[in-house]
Amino acid sequence: MTLAIIDYDMGNLKSVSKALEAVGAEVCITRDPEKIRNAEKIVLPGVGAFGKCMENLKNYGLIDIIKESIKSGKYFLGICLGLQLLFEESEEFGPVKGLGILKGKVVKFNHASLKIPHMGWNQIKYKGGETPPLLDGIPDQSSFYFVHSYYVMPADQTIITTETDYAGFFCSSIQKENILATQFHPEKSQELGLKMLENFVNLK
């Protein structure tokens, strides 16, 4: 299986690639629309500022192929900022328009007592009582690694698969049909993170 990791100069591509290769994926790091089109699955990682990420996606001509890939039905995994970019807009230095594939917005943690960014290990809690396919074999309330100052607020609450408590619960992963995305970093989450990536690789 060929899996394309989208390269737009804003992701920890090497660590994501190594983690996916460790669970058996054949990985291609690319910004070539044809290679992305021909891949069986797509991963969009992301680290940095929302607006700069959108600017790079536009400048590299990647927005249309991302939307086309998702519309085609192939599995798509967004990681951290790769989750946030799927939504309509972010208030980070904004508002700044996102890809608009999912309805909702990205907002900043604003509780006075919170240390920002939210960084380190924190638990994920399944929403709705069912184990999401991406987290098959991973116990409820397992811990994953986070680094972020903003979080998504989906308009459709039914797409939220896990929540995490940081002075109140926020959305830490979503799934809508073939779109899967996490606020946490599976590639930095040791054994359970590798299990999650293996689940993604094995999705049929």
Positions marked active-site: 80, 185, 187
C-beta separation of 194 from 188 below 8 A: no
Tokens of 111: 């509780």
Tokens of 151: 């979080």
Q: How far apart are CA 138 and CA 191, in angstroms?
A: 10
Tokens of 52: 């700069």
C-beta separation of 2 from 24 below 8 A: no
* 148, HSE (Cβ side, Cα atoms, 13 Å): 31
How many helices (DSSP H) and strands (DSSP E) are in the chain? Answer: 6, 14
